[in-house]
Amino acid sequence: MRIVQCKMNHLKNPLGFQVGKPVFSYLVQDSKGSAQTEARIKISRCEDMKETCFDTGFAEDIDSVAYEANVELYPRQRYYWTVTVRTDAGEEATSDVNWFETGKMYEAWKGKWITCEDYFGQHPVFWKHFTVEKAIRRARLYVCGLGLYEAFFNGKKIGDEFLTPYCNDYEKWLQYQTFDVTEQMKAGGILEILLGNGWYKGRFGFINRVNNKSFCINTWKVIAELIITYEDGCEEIVGTDEAWNVYYSRIKCSSIYDGEIWDFTLPMRKEGSVKLCEETLPPLMERLSVPVRIQEELKPKEMMKTASGDIILDIGQNIAGIFRVKVHEPKGRKIRLQFGEILQNGEFYRDNLRSAKAEFEFTSDGKAHILQPHFTYYGYRYVKVEGISQVEPQNFTACVLYSDIPKTGTLQTGNRLVNRLIKNAEWGQKGNFIDVPTDCPQRDERMGWTGDAQVFSKTACFLRDSFAFYKKYLFDIWQEQQKTEGLVPNVIPSWGDRETSSAWGDAACIIPWNLYLFYGDKSILRQQYSSMKAWVDYIERCDGDKKLWRKKFHLGDWLALDHHGEGDEAMGGTDTGFIASVYYANSANILSKAAETLGYRDDAKYYKKLSEHLFLEIKSDYYTDDGNCKCDTQTALLLTLHYGLSKEHEKIKKRLLEKFKVNQYKLQTGFVGTPLLCNQLCEEKMEELAFALLLNEEYPGWLYEVKMGATTIWERWNSVLPDGTISSTGMNSLNHYAYGSIVEWIYQYVAGIRPVEKCPGFRMVRIEPIVSWELQSVKAECKTPAGTYRSSWEILDEYHLRLSFFVPFGGMAEVVLPSVQEEIWKEKKEGEHWKLLPGDYTIEYRTRDNLRMLNCGIVTQSEAIEY
């Protein structure tokens, strides 16, 4: 038996993160038993664990999914911890020694914010020379540089992170990072900190991208503290101050949207002078952002020369990230790389990036160089290359950047196009999980749109461990709300924009609840409770007696295809007041569940009542006496079914089917309806339609874009028209993860693995696969906090099916078998389900139905229904 995956706050051996009360989690593997009987967690300041500062003793209530330790922690301490587990098979095993190290916490900074004289142009490098006279035991660098920074020791980059100190609500808090520089300091030398513009100082956000101004004050600044502990126990703190030095580098320009400009014909160093910063800055806090790194590297698949003579590299995959290229050109030669997502008429194209230049420019000093940008990223598949005499594709590497979000989900079907769709959604997550969950990674936007984030959050949690990533985003939601009396801005960080909308702002309630459901860790609800409550209270205040919430502007079923009449065609056809009311009632309900979970009884009661009252109002205002929904759209009917809003449920189902029938079984849904669509159809046993929508290869549908060669998820159902032309340039990204939420349905309903609210963190799952002739087989694996679950099925022939399940140690599954004959089912089931304890299961049986007829992409049942 082994104890693995030991994490603190969902992070493996984290250095310098915000901790609060530490939450421990771990997994048991290779056990002969099926469950833990008791466990013991010990924390020590010494690696040998001889003296402990916290010890639970053996206890039965230690939950391996999330155990919050009530322990007081001190600054700059490395804590070691182990967990020992006993099982129902009489085994006992102890984990390896794990650690986490606190940051400066409440300690005052000796280092001061320093700045330089120049505000624009050549980017500064602040530096100091260090000599060491005594033996060093350990050294840490605590550092924050604004807009962005990279630190170097003797010319070598410290750590492997990009875009530090990351993107958050800079008005409320600043994140600093901690680096272990013990080895570097032993040798002594020069510490340099290079600064760039980034989100803080560059043009960014809606308001600022237009007037070309930055959101924050336009100065470069840095604060750092190097704390050295010598072998003799003495400690030395060297902080940034006026005695540091600065020179200006040959990077002339950097921008998240526009890229970078380097001019190596400039002198290597232009000395400047250092001053103390005069402005008062928000508090520095330990990081919450998980590291952004180069997670993958790709080589060009093809190099081409277009009819107009451009040289273009095709990476073969739309990605977000940077690049590395070897160059050696004569002095004064200008190299220019431009990045785009798609070709048009065989030529390089970038108009859908709007005002984002997305370039890299380099003027050569005549020497050989390896170029790699520092302070930008691009969303791209194609690179237009200018100024390189002999372009060799192998000299170019696409470096895929995204946050550390370990892969947890693997899903494969017997259908090639569906597999590509799943892959596209996976790339959608990678491309839009660069510190903030963004709408898109390429145009002059790349912001944390709350609506997009909530829509994709379940899929994100199936695909990758997204807990720590979202935790920081949610923290920022709350920071913003403290400036707006609870209003949740549409984008987080907001960059000063105070607009809000239902379904967008509701991310404040939906995402924490989804995290609780997937990871079983209550601490996220505790962290976010004030935010969730502030949002619902904000709506309640706006709404008042006059139901004003539903009367204000909302984005509604954004980008749905049923828009009619005047106005912005991006607005869908479903009444936005109806959607706003439903989301409001739902958020109040989530809040009451969170209050219940945290033991806040009065709140639980109050918000439950509020939610019930709101749903009653919706029922009376939006439904006719005979149960019809006054908003007669696909999305409104789906919401009706999902929330049980009509007294005539069956009638609404029929109406929905009819609506699809008249629309040739094609969807019209946007941001609100699409994530609900196939899930709800399956809940209503309308799976035939759900599969028809999935498998439809024509516009509008998921496989249309796959067939058109998409390697990511598009923003619009028709981002690219059948003839290959891009449909519009105003708002048309080819890497927008929102509609990738279909993957959540494939995990939950096709592979059938569904989290269960009463046992969060996958302590128990419901497995109820739905078989489709067109897919032939499905294989899913979910690495959950409670262990790895597997579910797969395979059609053997028209009447034979094989299914396999794996339930991990400590887990449990309630299975419902598809198309099973009553005799077999009777044998297996206890109550409604076949209950599976940990172990491997395979079952093969003769099916009730002819499988060839099952969910083959064609809807037949509608004929049988009378309207």
Binding site for ligand BGC (CB under 6 A): 439-440, 445, 449, 451-452, 555, 558, 731, 736
Query: On the CB side of 816, how many CA atoms lie within 13 Å of its CA?
Result: 15
Taking the CA atoms of residue 398, residue 404, residue 407 and residue 408 in that order, the dihedral angle to the nearest 10 degrees is -160
CB of 438 to ligand BGC, least distance (A): 9
Token pair of 506 as six digits: 């509701």
Strands 78-87 and 98-101: antiparallel
Residue tagged 């963004």 (tokens): 438
Q: Using an 8 Å Cβ cutoff, are 82 and 69 in contact?
A: no
CB of 209 to ligand BGC, least distance (A): 12
CB of 313 to ligand BGC, least distance (A): 27
Q: Considering beta carbons, is residue 123 or 446 the nearer one to ligand BGC? A: 446
Q: Considering beta carbons, is residue 552 or 835 the nearer one to ligand BGC? A: 552
Token pair of 115 as six digits: 């700045």
Residue tagged 């609840």 (tokens): 513
DSSP annotation string for 111-163: S--EEES--SSSPEEEEEEE---S-EEEEEEEEEEESEEEEEETTEESSS--S
CB of 555 to ligand BGC, least distance (A): 5
Q: Considering beta carbons, is residue 227 or 734 the nearer one to ligand BGC? A: 734
Q: Considering beta carbons, is residue 199 or 607 the nearer one to ligand BGC? A: 199
CB of 489 to ligand BGC, least distance (A): 12
Which amino acid, residue 539? I
Q: Across the strands, what pairs with 784?
A: 787
Q: Considering beta carbons, is residue 286 or 562 the nearer one to ligand BGC? A: 562
CB of 77 to ligand BGC, least distance (A): 42
Q: Considering beta carbons, is residue 437 or 752 the nearer one to ligand BGC? A: 437
Q: Considering beta carbons, is residue 451 or 512 the nearer one to ligand BGC? A: 451
CB of 504 to ligand BGC, least distance (A): 7
Helix (H, G, I), strand (E, B) or coil at 381: strand
CB of 430 to ligand BGC, least distance (A): 17
Q: Is 848 exposed, middle or buried (0-12, 13-18, 19+ CB in 10 A)?
A: middle
Q: Considering beta carbons, is residue 74 or 553 the nearer one to ligand BGC? A: 553
Residues 6+ apart with CB under 8 A from 452: 437, 438, 439, 671, 736, 737, 738
CB of 289 to ligand BGC, least distance (A): 22
507-519 vs 576-598: helix crossing angle, rounded to 10: 40
Give the separation between CA 98 and CA 362, rounded to whole angstroms: 45
Distance of CA 670 to the CA centre of its chain: 20
Q: Considering beta carbons, is residue 426 or 452 the nearer one to ligand BGC? A: 452
Give the separation between CA 501 and CA 452, rounded to whole angstroms: 12
Q: Considering beta carbons, is residue 457 or 592 the nearer one to ligand BGC? A: 457
CB of 648 to ligand BGC, least distance (A): 33
Q: Report long-range pairs for 704-709 (Cβ below 8 Å, ≥24 apart).
A: 705/424, 706/417, 706/420, 706/421, 706/424, 707/417
The closest alpha carbon to 450, from 504, 512, 496, belongs to 504
Q: Considering beta carbons, is residue 329 or 341 the nearer one to ligand BGC? A: 341
CB of 423 to ligand BGC, least distance (A): 21
CB of 720 to ligand BGC, least distance (A): 17
Strands 302-305 and 148-153: unpaired
Q: Considering beta carbons, is residue 408 or 501 the nearer one to ligand BGC? A: 501
CB of 134 to ligand BGC, least distance (A): 55
Q: Using an 8 Å Cβ cutoff, are 436 and 167 in contact?
A: yes
CB of 441 to ligand BGC, least distance (A): 11
Q: Considering beta carbons, is residue 228 or 559 the nearer one to ligand BGC? A: 559
Which amino acid, residue 651? K
What are the backbone dihedrals phi and psi of residue 204, each rounded to the nearest 5 degrees, phi first? Answer: -160, 145
CB of 568 to ligand BGC, least distance (A): 10
Give the separation between CA 744 and CA 367, rounded to whole angstroms: 51
DSSP annotation string for 818-846: TTB-HHHHHHH-BTTBEEE-SEEEEEEEE
Q: Considering beta carbons, is residue 163 or 447 the nearer one to ligand BGC? A: 447
CB of 498 to ligand BGC, least distance (A): 14
Q: Is 748 exposed, middle or buried (0-12, 13-18, 19+ CB in 10 A)?
A: buried
Token pair of 670 as six digits: 């946007």
Strands 270-272 and 148-153: unpaired
Q: How far is CA 331 from CA 110, 253, 325, 390, 802, in A?
A: 44, 20, 17, 16, 67
Give the separation between CA 732 and CA 722, rounded to whole angstroms: 15
Q: Considering beta carbons, is residue 28 or 580 the nearer one to ligand BGC? A: 580
- Among the residues of 381-445, which ranges form H helices? 416-432
Does a cis peptide bond (omega within 30 degrees of 0) precede residue 147?
yes
CB of 235 to ligand BGC, least distance (A): 49
What are the backbone dihedrals phi and psi of residue 746, each rounded to the nearest 5 degrees, phi first? Answer: -65, -40
Q: Considering beta carbons, is residue 555 or 560 the nearer one to ligand BGC? A: 555
Q: Using an 8 Å Cβ cutoff, are 98 and 84 in contact?
A: no
Q: Considering beta carbons, is residue 64 or 442 the nearer one to ligand BGC? A: 442
CB of 379 to ligand BGC, least distance (A): 12
State which residue has the least CB distance to ligand BGC: 439
Instruction: Classify each residue of 223-241 as buried b or exposed e, where b means 16 or more C-beta atoms within 10 Å of its C-beta.
Output: bbbbbbbbeeeeeeebbbe
Q: Considering beta carbons, is residue 428 or 451 the nearer one to ligand BGC? A: 451
